[in-house]
Structure 1
Amino acid sequence: MFVKITVGALLVFMIFNLFKAMMIMLKGDSQEPMSKYIGRRVLTSAAIMIILLIAMATGLITPNPRPY
């Protein structure tokens, strides 16, 4: 259950950074670089993938055996 909550929180954080970068892009004359938020988004997605791989390897979560 903890893994699912952590992944969900990281997904919300990733979407927040996406919208923050969008607002900077739309303003155009901001002092903050947009790449800061895009980089956070990429780092968050990499962390999600690592957490999922570790959780599957340790048996905390199990993948669906058959999709149909």
Structure 2
Amino acid sequence: MLFKSLILLLLFLVIGNLMLGLKAMLSRQDPALMARYIGRRLWFAVLIVLLLVLALSTGLLTPNPTPH
């Protein structure tokens, strides 16, 4: 349950940084600020993928069985 909560928190952080990057882009603020938010979003997404791969490889998460 803790692992799933961590993934959910990271997903919210991805969405939050995406919205902050959009706000910075639309308000024509410093382009470096927008790049920082988008870069953070990318790092959080990479972290989510790595955590999921690690959890699948260790057996912490099990994928759904195929229907055949």
Q: TM-score, normalised by structure 1?
A: 0.90
Report the CA distance between 1:67 and its aligned residue.
5.5
- SS across alignment from 1:33: helix
Tell which has more relative contact order, 1 or 2 (C-alpha 8 A, sep 6+).
1
CA change 1:38–1:65 in 2 (3 A) is same
2:33 equivalent in structure 1: 33
SS at match of 1:37: helix
SS class of match (1:4): helix
Unmatched tracts of structure 1, length 5 or more: none
The residue type paired with residue 24 of structure 2 is I
How far apart are the structure 2 equivalents of 1:50 and 1:67? 26
Q: Cα deviation per residue 1:10-68 (whole Å; 9 max; x = unaligned)?
A: 0000000000001001101x245210000000000000000001101111110111258
Number of residue-to-residue matches in the alignment: 67
Residue segments in structure 2 that go unaligned for 5+ positions in a row: none
Which runs of at least 4 in structure 1 moved beyond 4 Å after TM superposition?
A: none
Give the TM-score taking structure 2 as reference length.
0.90
Identity %: 39
Q: Which residue of 2 aligns with 1:55?
A: 55
Q: SS in structure 2 opposite 1:65? A: coil
